[in-house]
């Protein structure tokens, strides 16, 4: 796999049964400084850490995307969030084995999405019972579009 590559699949979540399997949770606030088609710049605060991330589908094929991420100062990130385009996202992320399950708050309250990162597009993975329909590649389920 090429450096700075993310391969993930995304699914709707049918129930909160994943909660009993969760081993950790994180509070996340994120916004987008740039939402250009095919390339986004995101600011994220996750608990007591902050990150600046660039994601793009312009350099990779299939579901693989370019992803560059660097940790930044939390106070800088709070200031950058005020510069973000409308649509700040608030969510709780639960860690369930290899899965990350996001439960959204605020204007997206009640939406639940699960993601799994893969080493290649053909990698086999087990689908938990609480997993719903796959929405990988459907733009309306990308955080940047919500």
Alpha carbon 23 to chain centroid, angstroms? 18
Q: What is the pLDDT of residues 70-120, one digit of tens each?
A: 999 999 999 999 999 998 999 999 999 999 999 999 999 999 999 999 998
State which residues form the domain around 117: 5-145
Q: In the chain, how many domains are there?
A: 1
Q: What is the pLDDT of residues 52-61, one digit of tens each?
A: 999 998 777 6
For residue 41, give the CATH number of its domain: 2.40.320.10
Please report, to the nearest 10 degrees, the dihedral formed by the alpha carbons of residues 38, 36, 105, 69 taken in order: 70
Q: Which residues are catalytic?
A: 32
Please say whether the beta carbons of 23 and 96 come within 8 A: yes
Alpha carbon 6 to chain centroid, angstroms? 11
The model's pTM: 0.92
Please say whether the beta carbons of 106 and 90 come within 8 A: yes
CA 112-142-10 angle, to 5 degrees, is 60
């Amino acid at each position: 796999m090429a450096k700075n590559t993310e391969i993930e699949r995304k699914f709707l979540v049918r129930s909160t049964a994943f909660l009993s399997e969760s081993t950790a949770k994180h509070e996340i606030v994120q916004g987008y400084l740039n939402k250009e088609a095919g390339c986004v710049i995101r600011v994220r605060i996750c608990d007591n850490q902050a990150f600046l991330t660039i994601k793009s589908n312009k350099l990779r094929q299939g579901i693989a995307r370019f992803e560059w991420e660097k940790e930044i100062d939390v106070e800088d990130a709070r200031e950058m969030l005020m510069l973000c385009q409308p649509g700040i996202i608030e969510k709780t992320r639960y860690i369930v084995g290899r899965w990350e399950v996001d439960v959204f708050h605020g204007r997206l309250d009640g939406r639940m999405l699960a993601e799994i990162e893969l080493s290649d597009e053909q990698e086999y993975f087990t689908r938990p019972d609480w997993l719903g329909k796959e929405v990988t590649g459907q733009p309306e389920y990308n955080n940047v579009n919500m």
